[in-house]
Chains A and B, each alone.
Chain A
Amino acid sequence: MKKFLQKVIVYISVLSFLVVLIIFFFRKDYQINFVSNSVAQNMKAAFIVKNYQRFNNSRIIVIGSSMSLNNIDAIQIEDSFKTPTFNLASWGMKLEDFKDYDIWRRGNTIILNMHFSDFGKSEIVKKRGFPFTNSSILQFYNTAFDFKTYLGQAEEAKVAVDSTSIKSYKWLKFDSSGSAMFSDSNFNKSANRWNKDPFLFYGINDTKLQEFVTTLQEVKKLKNTGFNFIISFSPGRRIFYTEQRMKTVEKLAELIHAHCSDILFINKYDFNMPDTFFVDNTHFNRTGAETYTREIIESIKADTRIKTYK
């Protein structure tokens, strides 16, 4: 037994030494905080760590998926309300994924911009330290037990911040407030994404609406009251608009009002934006994002319940 244990310990020691050597040799500093299976979320996590003071001081927080990351101009919100604003959104993040953030406190205004892609279960797989961590030990632990994914994400991150990527859907170079708006000109549009009907693709039904509202109620329990919660529903390409779908969004608004009456729901699904403002069926380019954000700001200002803080 002793000989066996010695052999095992020696083997594991040598293997571990080689593993540590490989990690240190190959570890790339491409702005990833390796806390999930999503490269966008990991880049956002690294961005938070790097700009922690700005994040911590922000009183308006934009959350959500790429609907918020690419379609909301957080700097414009900040300038308009004269309140520090931070865009926390990243690809594929669902409302439930933001429960881990300590943003649900008195005095904050949370803005979630959404579309039909934001229903359903999250596919984010969280690692230790989610949603972001300063701990090198945790980072090393996550990297050591998923090195292949880490390397793959490091390469993706490198591409995502390259200047040419602003004309592609991979763009993840955040501006000072965390938004990542797409280029207005010469964008490499995908025909598949351009023509995909989001309502049909995501199979929207009453069950999904109800599940979303249930998650909203769980989120509202996080920290009693005192924070403003604003949900906006952005438009897709006009070709996909129908009255029936508008009714679905109105039904969502009714459900939210019935269960969470203090949430401000801004229904902009019928806001007619020209195709020149889009890069695919639901994502805006910079001009589109700026135009849409202006609309949201006006709606927020028009609602007297929402207080913004200087």
Chain B
Amino acid sequence: MLFNSIEFLVFLPVVFLLYWFVFSRSLRLQNLLVLSASYFFYGWWSINFLGLLILSTCLDYLYGFGVVSTNKRRARLFLWLSIVNNLGILAVFKYYNFFAIQFQNGFERLGMHFDPILLNFALPIGISFYTFHGMSYVFDIYRKQQQPVSNFIDYAVFVSFFPLLVAGPIERASHLLPQIQEKRRFNYAQAVEGCRLILWGLFKKVVVADSLSEIVDSSFRNYQEDNAFSLIVGAISFSFQIYGDFSGYSDIAIGTAKLFGFELLSNFKFPYFSRDIAEFWRRWHISLSSWFRDYLYIPLGGSRNGKLKAVRNTFIIFLVSGFWHGASWNFIIWGGIHAMAFMPLLLLNRNRKYSADVVAKNNTLPTAKEFGQMLTTFSFVTLAWIFFRANDGVRLAFGYLGQIGKSVIQDPGQFLTAPKGWIAVLYIIPLLFGDWWLRRDERSLLKWGWPVNLVLGLLVWYHFGGNNSFIYFQF
């Protein structure tokens, strides 16, 4: 079920009341309730793929015991079993058709024709997330950073915890498991913060992202007929649509977890206020980029073996990250574009320049230089998003950009007229304002008074009925 659905509006309070009023005396029963609720939540979408989730959970649970072995060979065997198992699931359900078609195209170019068997079932929702949970758990045990969990229920809750099951954040065993294994006590401030975060997340998703979706769909569908101004607005709209959609979902997930006494990892830290690409990737989908850093970049050697290897490893991470988002060349190219932008910073050792503080930390407004930096980074990111959004292929992205270039030359006067759908773009303003307010202290969300929360609530209600699933569900 979706977070922005009537079913979830009923599901959440029921589970909440059962959790704190009926099952709170027994940790084991409370965890069992969370697990049952999580399977119910997932099964609401598909009972068949619930079986896959349970199977994946059982296998990684068992691999965890194998990988703790003192026999290094045996430990490595179980580690590889986990990797092959999880990547195998991804390969079959997410990437098989892509590779089959690439092989077919390859053979066609050699003059040989063959019709591959293509799989014809839906991509299981959240598959890219729960497989990564399982892999990281086994990895951490192998590295002696984590002990295997004896209680299957506890482990299953870690993999399937419903707020983060279908679109993250991607949690770490060392962070979430201890919370699952400890008794939770109701904390008023935490619960209130959770509710406000849910409300803010719903605003970002239901109000901002969904309102912008029409402009975006129209721009990318009819780009050949639109002028440059409309297409630029369309691209910017997508930047905020995907941000509102994904960070909104994360906020709802984190806020929901707080209602049950859990603290999840932060997943977005105001990425559009980044001063360079390196900072952007420390603020965007943090749980994914840190996962790739810890389980791919570092095992490949990271930056320890010279600049050349660091460049190679960085490229791999970006391309894999792109590919993780979808089995299509446009996602890989999107990753490659970011890799190209990151390289100069890496080579000049400037990729950690803005790792400490948020922009304008001690000021209300950014300086002119900071504003220029944010604008440049945002413009680049938006340009790259065009490739990300180009579902119909890379040609669409180039066509989109080409149409912008052509139209600017043909009709420079267009910038004096209002572009299509400009009203929805106004929703970006409160989003930016809210994020700017929160950038120094996310807890300042609690200082927003009743009037703000009521306005947000009314806006969410007004936009509630749209049928737009979260974009990141497809991953």
Q: Is A145 an interface residue (CB 8 A)?
A: yes
Name the B residues within 8 Å of A148 (CB-CB): 462-466
Chain B contact residues, majority secondary structure: helix
> When each residue 116-153 of chain A gets 1 if its CB lies under 8 Å from chain B and 0 otherwise, what string results?
00000000010000000000000000000111111000
Contact B192 A7 (CB under 8 A): yes
Q: Is A202 an interface residue (CB 8 A)?
A: no
In the complex, what distance in Å separates the CA atom of A148 from the CA atom of B20?
35
Number of interface residues of B (CB under 8 A): 19
Partner of A4, one of B192, B458, B461: B192
**Known contacts A3-B188, A4-B192; is-contact A146 B458 (Cβ 8 Å):** no
Partner of B188, one of A4, A19, A22: A4
Q: Is B414 an interface residue (CB 8 A)?
A: no
Contact B20 A15 (CB under 8 A): no
Name the A residues within 8 Å of B20 (CB-CB): 1
Q: Is B191 an interface residue (CB 8 A)?
A: yes
Name the B residues within 8 Å of A146 (CB-CB): 464-465
In the complex, what distance in Å separates the CA atom of A37 from the CA atom of B454?
28
* Residue of chain A at shortest CB distance from B461: A19
Q: Is A11 an interface residue (CB 8 A)?
A: yes
> When each residue 445-470 of chain B gets 1 if its CB lies under 8 Å from chain A and 0 otherwise, what string results?
00000100110011001111111000
In the complex, what distance in Å separates the CA atom of A145 from the CA atom of B7?
12
In the complex, what distance in Å separates the CA atom of A9 from the CA atom of B462?
20
Contact B458 A18 (CB under 8 A): yes
> When each residue 216-244 of chain B gets 1 if its CB lies under 8 Å from chain A and 0 otherwise, what string results?
00000000000000000000000000000
Contact B465 A15 (CB under 8 A): no
Q: List CB contacts (< 8 Å) of A1-41 with chain B.
A: 1, 3-4, 7-8, 11, 14-15, 18-19, 22, 37
In the complex, what distance in Å separates the CA atom of A3 from the CA atom of B464?
28
Contact A19 B465 (CB under 8 A): no
Q: Is B47 an interface residue (CB 8 A)?
A: no
Contact A11 B453 (CB under 8 A): yes
Number of interface residues of A (CB under 8 A): 19
Shortest Cβ distance from A269 into chain B, in angstroms? 31
In the complex, what distance in Å separates the CA atom of A146 from the CA atom of B6?
11
In the complex, what distance in Å separates the CA atom of A14 from the CA atom of B464?
18
Partner of B454, one of A1, A8, A18: A18
Q: Is B186 an interface residue (CB 8 A)?
A: yes
Q: Is B195 an interface residue (CB 8 A)?
A: yes
Shortest Cβ distance from A133 into chain B, in angstroms? 17
In the complex, what distance in Å separates the CA atom of A46 from the CA atom of B307?
71
Shortest Cβ distance from B365 into chain A, in angstroms? 33
* Residue of chain A at shortest CB distance from B456: A15
Shortest Cβ distance from A2 into chain B, in angstroms? 10
Contact B457 A15 (CB under 8 A): yes
In the complex, what distance in Å separates the CA atom of A244 from the CA atom of B350?
67
Contact B465 A8 (CB under 8 A): no
Contact B457 A11 (CB under 8 A): yes
In the complex, what distance in Å separates the CA atom of A4 from the CA atom of B464?
25
In the complex, what distance in Å separates the CA atom of A22 from the CA atom of B453?
17
Shortest Cβ distance from B105 into chain A, in angstroms? 23
Shortest Cβ distance from A125 into chain B, in angstroms? 7
Shortest Cβ distance from A160 into chain B, in angstroms? 21
* Residue of chain B at shortest CB distance from A125: B467
Partner of B186, one of A1, A15, A22, A147: A1
In the complex, what distance in Å separates the CA atom of A19 from the CA atom of B460?
11
Name the B residues within 8 Å of A150 (CB-CB): 465
Q: List CB contacts (< 8 Å) of B434-454 with chain A.
A: 450, 453-454
Contact B461 A8 (CB under 8 A): no
Contact B458 A147 (CB under 8 A): no
* Residue of chain B at shortest CB distance from A142: B465
Q: List CB contacts (< 8 Å) of A95-121 with chain B.
A: none
**Known contacts A11-B453, A18-B454, A125-B467; is-contact A145 B186 (Cβ 8 Å):** no
Name the A residues within 8 Å of B458 (CB-CB): 15, 18-19, 22
In the complex, what distance in Å separates the CA atom of A1 from the CA atom of B458?
25
In the complex, what distance in Å separates the CA atom of A148 from the CA atom of B207?
11
Name the B residues within 8 Å of A3 (CB-CB): 188
In the complex, what distance in Å separates the CA atom of A150 from the CA atom of B461?
13
Name the A residues within 8 Å of B461 (CB-CB): 15, 19, 147
Shortest Cβ distance from A105 into chain B, in angstroms? 33
Give me the 5 closest cross-chain CB pairs, A-B, nearest first: A146-B465, A15-B457, A4-B191, A149-B465, A1-B186
- If A11-B450, A18-B454, A146-B465 are given as contacts, then 4 extra A-B residue pairs at C-beta distance below 8 Å, sorted by A number, are A19-B461, A22-B458, A147-B464, A149-B465
Give 25 A-B contacts (CB < 8 Å), ordered by A residue. Answer: A1-B20, A1-B188, A4-B186, A4-B192, A11-B450, A11-B454, A11-B457, A14-B454, A15-B454, A15-B458, A15-B461, A19-B458, A22-B458, A145-B6, A145-B464, A145-B465, A146-B465, A147-B461, A147-B462, A147-B464, A148-B462, A148-B463, A148-B465, A149-B465, A150-B465
Q: Which residues in A have some Cβ–Cβ distance to B below 8 Å? A: 1, 3-4, 7-8, 11, 14-15, 18-19, 22, 37, 125, 145-150
